[in-house]
Amino acid sequence: MNRTRRLLLVMLTLALAGAGCTVRPLREGQAPPQLPPPPALDRTTEERILALDPERVTAADVRDTLAKGPTPRIVLLHGGIYPVHLAMSSFGEFLVGMGYPEARIRHPRDGEWSHSPYEDALQQAGTLAWYYERDGTRPFLIGHSQGGMQAVKILLVLAGEFGPDVPVWNPLTDTSEGRTAIDDPVTGRRQPVVGFRLPYASAVGAGGAAFLLPNQWTMVGRLLTIPDSVDEFAGYWIDFDTWAWTFPGVEATRTFTGTGATRVRNVTLPAGNNHVVMPASRALSTDPAVRPWIDAYRPGTPAAEPPGGAPDNALWVADVWYSVKKHWALEAQRHIAARRAGGKATVTGKLE
């Protein structure tokens, strides 16, 4: 057996072993958990949220304002080879360390930090719609490696490319609700799962070797085209990545393009980044040298260069956190403005 075949066999074996990392079933007679109601807002907090500049959200804004208002759920999607999910768990802990409410990241049924790319993308899409119907804020998707590919697949499901009907999926019972549409809590209109639009999604290190896995064969020729089912998508590529098959100067393999009104950003990360442990970032939220830079980071500015001594993944961590803060503010503002307007808002976040 040559080296390539051995590598493929190892990948498939590890991938199949990791496929069992899905939502744990309830024990017989066990009632599903209940989610706490969204926080009650006072007029002062609402005014402070509406006054925020989403492009310049500070650490104080997160702590004193955003964390007290409507907060979108973040759905993390880890890579497919065990135990790479631990790296995404570390990123979830980083987000909490930066001020994001932990309950808005962990799975409400089993407490896991992230989802497996071996879960059914139609069920995951249906779950996103379920979250929105309950919370009034649209969820975010953040995927790593094969999880990044799964994030794009979910966007394609929402765009109708895997069928015209997708069931609403209840994450507390892990069952279909027997319907394919939700009552939009912002507009008051009926909203099919197909056609539901997310505010933000991102993928780092997607593609490459993951195309060899049967569950991702349907993504061949589809990965790099982002459908009009998300407001903003960020694609992150490591400059030299033997797992994602991205190499310096070969732009065709690492350039996402969008359709419709979707804004797509492509970000090249330093070649020193390690694909497998890319999201591992728990310690950065308490690093006295790096944390202030992350708090102040804005893409495209002179200060966007990481400080000396920062780990290679600091740029990805800071850029994703900037986008999370930005869309967190936008979703909270959308929620409050629509409620004040009597629910007359579109699902794209723009008031009618």
103-142, pLDDT tens digit by residue? 999 999 999 999 999 999 999 999 999 999 999 999 999 9
Residue 222's pLDDT band, with cuts at 50, 70 and 90, is confident
Residue 308 CB neighbours (<10 A): 6
Q: Provide the pLDDT for residue 34.
A: 62
pLDDT at 208 over 80: no
Per-residue 3-state assignment (H helix, E strand, C coil) for the chain? CCHHHHHHHHHHHHHHHHCCCCCCCCCCCCCCCCCCCCCCCCHHHHHHHHCCCCCCCCHHHHHHCHHHCCCCCEEEECCCCCCCHHHHHHHHHHHHHCCCCHHHCCCCCCCCCEECCCCCHHHHHHHHHHHHHHHCCCCEEEEECHHHHHHHHHHHHHCCCCCCCCCCEECCCCEECCCCEEECCCCCCEEECCCCCEEEEEEECCCHHHHHCHHHHHHCCCCCEECCCEEEEEEEEECCECCCCECCCCHHHCCCEECCCCEEEEEEECCCCCCCCCCCCHHHHHCCCCHHHHHHCCCCCHHHCCCCCCCCCHHHHHHHHHHHHHHHHHHHHHHHHHHHCCCCECCCCCEC
Tell me what the mean pLDDT of segment 154-162 comes to: 97
pLDDT at 11 over 80: no
CB–CB of 61/27 below 8 Å?
no
CB–CB of 233/202 below 8 Å?
yes
Distance of CA 252 to the CA centre of its chain: 24
pLDDT at 347 over 50: no
255-303, pLDDT tens digit by residue? 999 988 999 999 999 888 888 899 999 999 999 999 999 999 999 887 7
Tell me what the mean pLDDT of segment 241-249 comes to: 75
Q: Provide the pLDDT for residue 32.
A: 57
Residue 4's pLDDT band, with cuts at 50, 70 and 90, is very low
Residues 6+ apart with CB under 8 A from 285: 93, 94, 96, 97, 98, 291, 294
Q: For residue 127, how many C-alpha atoms fall within 13 Å in the half-sphere facing its CB?
A: 22
Residue 304's pLDDT band, with cuts at 50, 70 and 90, is confident
Residue 232's pLDDT band, with cuts at 50, 70 and 90, is very high
> Considering the chain, what is the average pLDDT of its residues?
86
pLDDT at 225 over 70: yes
| Closest of 63, 34, 147, 85 to residue 328, by C-alpha | 63
Domain ranges of the chain: 71-323
Task: Taking each helix axis as running N to C, give the angle between helix 146-158 and helix 121-135, from 0 to 180 degrees, rounded to the nearest 10.
Answer: 70
Q: For residue 232, how many C-alpha atoms fall within 13 Å in the half-sphere facing its CB?
A: 16
pLDDT at 12 over 70: no
Tell me what the mean pLDDT of segment 227-254 comes to: 83
16-53, pLDDT tens digit by residue? 334 434 445 555 555 556 666 667 788 999 999 999 99
Integer distance in angstroms from the first to the last C-alpha of the chain?
Answer: 63
Of the candidate CATH numbers 3.30.420, 3.30.365, 3.30.1360, 3.40.50, the domain formed by 71-323 belongs to: 3.40.50
Beta bridge pairs of residue 237: 268
Q: Provide the pLDDT for residue 162.
A: 95
Tokens at residue 332, please?
Answer: 């909270």
Tokens at residue 129, please?
Answer: 């719609």
Q: Provide the pLDDT for residue 29.
A: 55
pLDDT at 100 over 80: yes
